Amino acid sequence: MNILISKFHTSSMHYTYWKSVKNFDSFRRMVERSCPSDPSTLTFAFSRLSQFYRSNSHNNNYYNIFKSLESRVLTVPVEGWITRELSSVALSLSFFKHWIDHKTISHMFKSFENSICNLNALDISHIMCFIGNLRNNHDIGINVELNNLLKNISKHLRRRGILRKNLATAKNIICILSSYAKLDITDSQLLSTCCKEVNCRLNELAQPYEVANALNAISRMLSKHTSVDKIVETVICELITRFTELEHVDSESFADFLDSISRLISHGKLDCIDQLLRIFTQTINKRNELINCDEPKVLRVILRSLRNINFKHETFIEHCLKNCENDHESWSFGALCDLISTIGQSDTHKGFINSRINRVIFNKLAIQMSRRKYIPHPDTLINLAIICHYDYKLLCYAEKLIVYLLVTSVQSKIPISTVDKLNVSATILLQTRPQIISKLDISTLKMLCDMAKMDNIIGFQNVNLQPMLSEIEGRLEQKFKHLIVQ
């Protein structure tokens, strides 16, 4: 008992000691002077380092301190960690994914394997973040170990006895499902096991956000490749009934609920699709005041749910446009993309898109898109292209977008269907603004030339591309002549 109390006081002193450090220079000196090597001290040191790093990641001194602490992680025996310290250090390590060594990750994996029977909901959430941050690493060995760890955790969680012992509450079980959903991992067997346990604890989910979170996590965990277990469908129906009977609902919970229902409808393997669609419509009509909220992040979720099932709601789109025009700085890049994609689905809005989409908004979107390295949803790109095509005043803003579309489509590791849609978007814009061709490099021009000769460009089979082809070939010839002269 005295040992436990002593350890508790020591841990508290460590926490107060490390938390008291107010600036990075003091923290650096403390690390160099104290040489932390026990798990408890390393936990606090890594936590403080990750806080400094996230507030100012441009400081070059972080690398040396990280490497100093990382080397001491390897001195801790696999059996020397308690799960709370292990998961906390893993989470902090994952923030430095570009610096972490493979041998450190291997050491952490062995430690996880040793502690797997004692993991609770928070530990697993931290480990899932660790896996998520290190995923898609260029090191094949790391990816193999990540997958093996994930398989072992899933195998461990599928045993209902473990769920009862370590997770205890419905909220914790939902927390685990959410962790899997964030990584786009579907596991039908684990979902069924968790739903059996949640079904016994539904009374614990009383608040709107708790019910919405549960439904959201379950809907995201459904696999499109397998049928839905009866217990899963039972829990889904219970959660939907519970939410619709709530008197007071906040806007975020409302948006998450709609998002979940739309995902369940688009999943297509439940027996109650017609009923879900009816509930979706009734919920929107009943909670009309929540539809007209002024929070862009909430509006974005609702937009996504409408787009998922091609649900037309012109009044809501009108409200989003007004909100975006009045406060476009609050709308994120992704939210703007969702807004334009949803508008593009509604033919009745074609008439006023051009007058209502603020030029500043479009310019901001095009610039952000040209700077980013990931590809937005292909439908967003096509809708942007159509908007430019219909509104000649917007063409002066479209050049960055055109170059982005064309250059992105020749990059490697892009799904073929996405490349096709990028090509369609570029084709629309190039027909409207062919002078952009003079600004493209040779590799992009060659790609365009090949594209223009295709007979099966999706959605535009009847478009006459011969003028564009002639201009591209002429431009290519000029560039080659210029190279020969040089």
- What residue ranges do the domains of the chain occupy? 1-157, 169-291, 358-486
Grouping H, G, I as helix, E, B as strand and the rest as coil, residue 159 is: coil
pLDDT at position 85 is 87
CB count within 10 Å of CB 319 equals 17
**Alpha-carbon span 378 to 408, nearest angstrom:** 12
Short-list 293, 370, 377, 304, CA closest to 327:
293
User: Per residue, what are the HEC states of 213-263?
Assistant: HHHHHHHHHCCCCCCCCHHHHHHHHHHHHHHHCCCCCCHHHHHHHHHHHHH
C-alpha distances (whole Å) from 359 to each of 328, 355, 436 are: 11, 9, 20
C-alpha distances (whole Å) from 303 to each of 222, 282, 308, 430 are: 21, 17, 9, 30
CB 399, CB 437: distance < 8 Å: no
**Alpha-carbon span 222 to 194, nearest angstrom:** 12
**Alpha-carbon span 457 to 335, nearest angstrom:** 29
CB count within 10 Å of CB 29 equals 11
Q: What is the DSSP letter of 78?
A: G
pLDDT at position 6 is 39
pLDDT at position 213 is 93
**Alpha-carbon span 70 to 296, nearest angstrom:** 40
At 71, list the tokens: 């080397």
pLDDT at position 460 is 41
pLDDT in tens, the chain (486 residues): 333 333 433 444 455 666 667 778 888 888 777 766 788 888 888 888 888 887 775 666 788 888 888 888 888 888 888 888 888 888 888 888 778 888 888 888 888 888 887 777 778 888 888 888 777 655 666 677 777 888 888 887 777 565 666 566 888 888 888 888 888 788 888 888 888 888 888 888 889 999 999 999 999 888 766 778 899 999 999 999 999 998 889 999 999 999 999 999 888 777 788 888 899 988 888 888 888 888 888 999 998 898 888 888 888 888 888 888 788 778 876 777 777 767 665 554 444 454 455 555 566 665 665 555 445 565 666 666 666 655 555 555 555 566 656 555 555 445 555 556 556 666 656 665 666 666 666 666 666 666 555 544 443 444 455 565 566 666 666 655 554 444
pLDDT at position 173 is 84
pLDDT at position 239 is 93
**Alpha-carbon span 364 to 428, nearest angstrom:** 21
Q: Which helix (H) or strand (E) holds 413?
A: none
User: Per residue, what are the HEC states of the chain?
Assistant: CHHHHHHHHHHHHHHHHHHCCCCHHHHHHHHHHHCCCCHHHHHHHHHHHHHHHHHCCCCCHHHHHHHHHHHHHCCCCHHHCCHHHHHHHHHHHHCCCCCCCHHHHHHHHHHHHHHHHHCCHHHHHHHHHHHHHHCCCCCHHHHHHHHHHHHHHHHHHCCHHHHHHHHCCHHHHHHHHHHHHHCCCCCHHHHHHHHHHHHCCHHHCCCHHHHHHHHHHHHHHCCCCCCCCHHHHHHHHHHHHHHHCCCCCCHHHHHHHHHHHHHHHHHCCCCCHHHHHHHHHHHHHHCHHHHCCCCHHHHHHHHHHHHHCCCCCHHHHHHHHHHHHHCHHHCCHHHHHHHHHHHHHCHHHHHHHHHHCCHHHHHHHHHHHHHCCCCCCHHHHHHHHHHHHHCHHHHHHCHHHHHHHHHHHCCCCCCHHHHHHHHHHHHHHHHHCHHHHHHCCHHHHHHHHHHHCCCCCCCCCCCCCHHHHHHHHHHHHHHHHHHHHC
**φ, ψ dihedrals at 100, nearest 5°:** -70, 140
